[in-house]
Structure 1
Amino acid sequence: MVAQDALKNLHGRSVRLDIHAWADGQEFNVEIQRGGKGASERRARYNSSLMDANALPAGEDYADLPESYVIFITETDVLGKGRPIYVIRRMIEESCEVFHDGSHIIYVNSSISDEATPLGRLMHDFRCTRAEDMYYDVLAERVRYLKETAKGASSMCEAVEAIARDFAKDFAKDMAKDMAKDMAKDMAKDMVKDIAKDMAHEMAKDVAKDMAHEMAKDMAKDVAKDMAHEMAKDMAKDVAKEAEDRGKTSVVLEMLRSKLPMETIAQVSKFSLERVQELGRLHGLL
């Protein structure tokens, strides 16, 4: 069993599974959700698809794909039918027969804890905080270990810290990447537009002066034309470079204000760590 297991998708969004486990040739994903948004039908479908995509090694037969179970344990009845459990499988509509592809999606509504049934007693234990009040010994023993022994408490703290670190790392990485991309794109576009407009205006005046001075000679027209063309190309390159540097600097300052790690800022901006630190000190952010 793996807690907070990340399944990678090279062509799209990856996922982090709360619990990812295997038993008797079957694969399980258990998600604990307090709100309905995180337990949508399409998220269940997506988790199931990535489990399948990562389960079968290259060259293996499709028949070796394991039975898979995506199980959402929800605080409320997110499907809204008043049932304690919902078992979802694909079916053949014309005959109402199950389509045996080995894929299973299950929603457990923990708001119904009918202690007269095994599932109800399990949901009671799921919400229970006292080991002595639990029905299932295996859960009670685990709760006692985690809450009433020093070793258990230490292992729980370590697990929580590891989850927090992984979450913070992924969140910071995604946020920095998206923020840098969007901000750099928008700021560079606006800055290039404004700078190019001002530079073009000044350049036009200067070129007009030079050309007016030389127009008395017949050859001055061609020379001025060639010079203006080369100047425009060089200046456009300089403007683009200046805009790129300004855009990067603005993004770096914004990320420093957001307290992102300097190694992350350096990686995103392509600036050296020393340059990031210099900018932070220069603007009073370090």
Structure 2
Amino acid sequence: MKERDRKLSEEDMLRVRALRLIDDAFMTVCFDGYIEGAQLLLNIILDRDDLTVTEVRSQKVLKSLRGRDVWLDIYATDKEGVRYNVEVQRADKGADIKRARYHSSMIDADMLNPGDDFSELNENYVIFITENDVMGLNRPIYRIERHIEADGYLPFNDGEHIIYVNGSARVPETALGKLMSDFFCTEAEEMNYKELSDRVRFYKETEKGAKTMGSVIDELREEGEMKARTENALKMLANNKLTLEEVAEYSGLSLEKIRELAGNKTA
């Protein structure tokens, strides 16, 4: 069925209205191909006003011949050829520091063709926007750079940059704080930046916009079904009258999942 022919229920529309930019599925829809939004985002995070984005894609796949492929939430390029990967992570474990390292290495590998000189590598930025302060130092932003240990720390200048943005630090007096506030807004009219509020309003308040989010709505439906099945399974486990196999059969969840729930219940 074509996306424009999908019939959205009232429940679907309510799910869409509850989405925020910190929800990665919604964020990737809003930023896909949206140069103005990506440019605003990067200029604020990097504390610049001169960065010009020339291309932006969401859900970009970087393939590895021997290792693990990566799906990038946002992958942007500026007029200087610098590459930017922006990831939103609500779960702390999704923002593991070695994940940032791996993303950076995959972006580097994607830049060079066979025979290219290593000097042709452009700078790359891996930026994690996290719901919580995963670094635990109560700062709004963390900039990670390599340094040389020699009578102090000298910049290594290899062109790799890793940044963590603490989404819980929403200081209203700063541009970054206003941006993070926008990432947690459910209502477009409450957002600070027009580039973001206009985009959010299109996808959340117009039927045309909502209908283009078929995959997101399907994902939300699946999450809703999984939540209902999990709640049902927990009720059956609480009765202590059914075997784990029976709970799995009646709830529609896997036996492995039921064992996990049973373990959590007794922990």
TM-score interval w.r.t. the shorter chain? 0.5 to 0.7
CA–CA separation in structure 2 for the residues paired with 1:4 and 1:163 = 17
Secondary structure at the counterpart of residue 6 of structure 1:
strand
* Counterpart code for 1:151: K
Q: Tell me the percent identity.
A: 52
CA–CA separation in structure 1 for the residues paired with 2:83 and 2:221 = 25
CA–CA separation in structure 2 for the residues paired with 1:2 and 1:163 = 22
CA–CA separation in structure 2 for the residues paired with 1:67 and 1:18 = 19
* 1:14 corresponds to: 69
Q: Unmatched 5+ residue regions in structure 2?
A: 1-55, 223-253, 255-267
* 2:260 corresponds to: none
The aligned runs of 1:211-250 (5 Å cut-off) are none
- Residue 83 (1) aligns with residue 139 (2): yes
* 2:169 pairs with one of 112, 115, 118: 112
RMSD of aligned C-alpha atoms?
2.3
- Residue 136 (1) aligns with residue 217 (2): no
* 1:29 pairs with one of 85, 96, 102: 85
Secondary structure at the counterpart of residue 44 of structure 1:
helix
- Residue 61 (1) aligns with residue 122 (2): no
- Residue 4 (1) aligns with residue 59 (2): yes
CA–CA separation in structure 1 for the residues paired with 2:120 and 2:221 = 35
TM-score, with normalisation over the residues of structure 1? 0.55
Secondary structure at the counterpart of residue 42 of structure 1:
helix
CA–CA separation in structure 2 for the residues paired with 1:27 and 1:54 = 10
* 1:122 corresponds to: 179
C-alpha deviation, 1:162, in angstroms: 9.2
- Residue 145 (1) aligns with residue 235 (2): no
Count of residue pairs the alignment pairs up: 167
C-alpha deviation, 1:101, in angstroms: 0.8
CA–CA separation in structure 2 for the residues paired with 1:85 and 1:158 = 32
- Residue 47 (1) aligns with residue 100 (2): no
C-alpha deviation, 1:163, in angstroms: 11
Whether the aligned pair in 2 keeps the contact of 1:4 and 1:163 (CA below 8 Å) is no
Q: What stretches of structure 1 move > 6 A for 4+ residues in a row? A: 162-165
1:159 and 1:61, CA in 2 relative to 1: closer, same or farther beyond 3 A? farther
CA–CA separation in structure 2 for the residues paired with 1:150 and 1:99 = 51
Query: Which has the larger Rg?
Result: 1
C-alpha deviation, 1:8, in angstroms: 1.2
C-alpha deviation, 1:63, in angstroms: 2.3
Secondary structure at the counterpart of residue 10 of structure 1:
coil
1:3 and 1:145, CA in 2 relative to 1: closer, same or farther beyond 3 A? same
Answer 1 or 2: which has greater helix percent: 1
C-alpha deviation, 1:16, in angstroms: 1.4
C-alpha deviation, 1:123, in angstroms: 0.2
Secondary structure at the counterpart of residue 211 of structure 2:
helix
Q: Unmatched 5+ residue regions in structure 1?
A: 166-257, 259-286
1:147 and 1:163, CA in 2 relative to 1: closer, same or farther beyond 3 A? closer
* Counterpart code for 1:91: H
C-alpha deviation, 1:160, in angstroms: 5.7
Q: Larger relative contact order (C-alpha < 8 A, sep ≥ 6)?
A: 2
CA–CA separation in structure 2 for the residues paired with 1:115 and 1:126 = 13
